[in-house]
Structure 1
Amino acid sequence: MSSARPDIVVAIDGPSGSGKSSTSRGVASRLGLRYLDTGAQFRAVTHWMLSHDVDLADPDAIAARAAEPQLQSGTDPLQPTITVDGEDVSVAIRGEAVTAAVSPVSAVPEVRARLLDLQRRIIGDGGIVVEGRDIGSVVAPDADVKVYLTADAAARAARRAAEEGGSDLAATQASLASRDQIDSGRATAPLVLADGAVHLDSTYLSLDEVIDKIVSLVP
């Protein structure tokens, strides 16, 4: 394991299926840093909304309850955890219902504002790798290292389908394309290449190669 400055902040953004989570955990573990999956936080809020029968077609209904769920994110890259109101939801947030609903919930400004405050408090004085879709552009624009991680559509769909136990490839690719459109087109904190970010295409790279490239960027 290498080491990094104790106050370093590494921001890794990119679309679904680009390899952000495995890469971010690997970089954090290699450098002895904490790790934060902001996507899991949005999924956790979505899970809470579904569990409380909030109408997810109504942004005002989501906004009205955005402050209620109590989230706790564990930052160990080898065993990241997330709880809502004290309940471990690490498995539940990866289900189909949450996956289908997370984009509209994430687009609600009140949800983003609530989680932005939480994310910045967790980042604190640094020593962390943070992954998401607006880390380098909104959450931590002064991050020491910013990476925008992508892969071509076919590779992303194949990776996501494999993660989901052999899901239908064409359906997975269509789902990712829909998610991309929502994430890139939303008015609040859209998915963009942040100023100063290194664009890294992982299509033809192994996980270790991607981790090596990012670690080499860390001062």
Structure 2
Amino acid sequence: MGPRVHRQWRRAAVAQGELRGVVAMDGPSGTGKSTVARGLASALGAGYLDTGAMYRAVTLAVLRAGTDPADGAAVLRVAEGVDLGIGTDPADRAVTLGGEDVSAEIRGPQVTAAVSAVSAVAGVRDLLVARQRLVISETRARSGGIVVEGRDIGTVVAPDAPLKVYLTASADARAARRSAQDAREGRTSTVDATRADVERRDTFDSTRAVSPLRPAVDAIEVDTTDLGVEAVLERLLAVVRERGLGAAVPGAAGA
């Protein structure tokens, strides 16, 4: 059986959602993608989907099974049997495997080191893209809108999204942010080691044969190197209004 996605959200928040449609947010690690995507979804009373967490959860399942992440056929067999749960509430990043909360474990160094190889398996991507589209459809039917983050949302998962955003930042800024996040969440890392890992993943993700990391041709590119989260949110909320996709909830941008 393929991954089973559990739909979780704050019903009161999304029932009065201000966003109409899909915001596709892509970019490499450390650009602030998750923080911005969750903030935007919260500001607009919309659903939220972290597709990267889905690939990380499958990667954790692969590692737990003792499967070589480079063995594509074996990785796909594991992925096909995964019971994956993921929330669509921006205030709740819960990710489960077989009902077990693995939200913290999927952010660990072992998963980070293996996730690019697992996510490069064509069959895994086909499986999860289908699930991602299902989540998007069901969330839109309930709340009207959803912010989806990942590395191929605007190009593959939701190519018809009315707003596509591609976040970038310098390698130094991204490494510093990742290291700070690791420290906050109790993981040990150095900026140099994190930068090497960031650059490794960039190369792997941007050169893979299936769904390489790249901005959609019609994406708005935002360099977040010198921008705080609130500045990025203000810019994106303005674009949402300009395109008639919704209006920000007063005072919610800083949520």
**Runs in 1 of length 4+ with deviation above 2 angstroms?**
1-5, 63-66
Contact 2:224–2:232 at 8 Å: present in 1 too? yes
For residue 199 of structure 2, what is the amino acid of its counterpart? A
Q: Within 2, Cα distance between the matches of 1:11 and 1:201?
A: 16
3-state secondary structure, aligned to 1:48: helix
Q: Does structure 1 conserve the Cα–Cα contact (< 8 Å) formed by 2:61 and 2:78?
A: no
Q: Give matches, 1:1-219, under 5 Å.
A: 4-5=18-19, 7-124=20-137, 126=140, 127-165=145-183, 167-218=189-240, 219=244
Contact 1:120 1:139 in 2 (8 A): yes
Offset of 1:71 from its aligned partner?
A: 1.1
Query: Which structure has the larger Rg?
Result: 2
CA contact (8 A) 2:37 2:149 kept: yes
In structure 1, C-alpha distance between the alignment counterparts of 2:153 and 2:69, rounded to whole Å: 25
Q: CA RMSD in A?
A: 1.5
1:3 deviation in Å?
A: 5.4
Q: Mean alpha-carbon deviation: is it higher for 159-168 or for 148-157?
A: 159-168
Q: Distance in 1 between matches of 2:194 and 2:150?
A: 20
Instruction: Tell me, yes or no, if the aligned pair for 1:3 and 1:30 is still in contact at 8 Å.
Output: no
Report the 3-state secondary structure (helix = DSSP H, G, I; strand = E; otherwise coil) of the residue aligned with 2:80. Answer: coil
**TM-score, normalization by structure 2:** 0.82
Once the 2 structures are TM-superposed, how far is the Cα of residue 95 of structure 1 from its aligned partner? 0.8
Q: Structure 1 regions of 5+ residues with no counterpart?
A: none
Conserved 8 A contact 1:34-1:129 = yes
Please state how far the C-alpha of 1:55 moved relative to its aligned partner.
1.5
Inter-partner Cα distance in structure 1 for 2:230 and 2:201 = 27
